[in-house]
Amino acid sequence: MRRRRIFIEINRLWATDVTLISLLVFLLFYIFFLYPLGQVGSFRPLTSVFFSFILITGAVTVSRHRVFKTLVFSWGLLTFVFLWVKHLFPHQIFIIVADCLALFFLILLASSS
């Protein structure tokens, strides 16, 4: 019972403007600060960490429809995995797949609003 109440409170927190504001802050910081630095090799892992935050907050803030939320969360998880696989195995195919998955994830986020 207590565990369920905690889960309800966490869902209520994520349903508020806090997640939307955090998503906006992550996006702005990523676009205007980290992405230009990401072209330098030593900052690439940091940009991946911040994009992972964008994936997590974006997946949590999507619409109330259960099916769409499941789709976005699953796609975000798949994107998260490939984002880190491309760092472990820097083959061209992993880089292309990770970028395509990330692009489609961002399109799903944009269509959910």
Per DSSP, helices labelled H in 1-113 are: 2-14, 17-29, 35-37, 44-60, 66-88, 92-112
Is 39 strand, coil or helix?
coil
Between CA 19 and CA 22 the distance in angstroms is: 5
Give the percent of the chain with pLDDT over 90.
Answer: 0
pLDDT tens, position by position, 23-54? 778 778 877 887 777 666 666 777 777 778 77
Q: Determine the pLDDT at residue 16.
A: 62
Amino acid at 101: L
